[in-house]
Amino acid sequence: MATTIYYKLEQLPYGSVRRYASTNKDIVQKGGYPVFFEIYGKERSDSYILADTKNDLIQKYGQNIKLVDLSVGDKSR
């Protein structure tokens, strides 16, 4: 069975993107720990960020993971 990882991407005012990821949906939605947190420069595409996220999480949880997007609102990326 796949490990479900919830994530969200937030566009920051200066163009960078903040990423949160966790196996706990509430942590991603409301904040808390443990969370995989990263800020990416504005030159990084969503596909790059998701590939990087998946690679990081595969090292911790193994190959069988499923990413679930909890991002809301800003779909302009």
H helix or E strand, kind and range, residue 17: strand 17-22
pTM as predicted: 0.82
Q: End-to-end distance of the chain based on CA atoms, in angstroms?
A: 31
**Left if phi > 0, otherwise alpha if psi is -120 to 50, otherwise beta: which for 20?**
beta
**Measured distance CA(75)–CA(77) in Å, rounded:** 5
Tokens in use for 10? 């937030």
Q: What is the pLDDT of residues 11-57, one digit of tens each?
A: 999 999 999 999 999 999 988 888 899 999 999 999 999 999 999 99
Name residue 31's beta-bridge partners: none
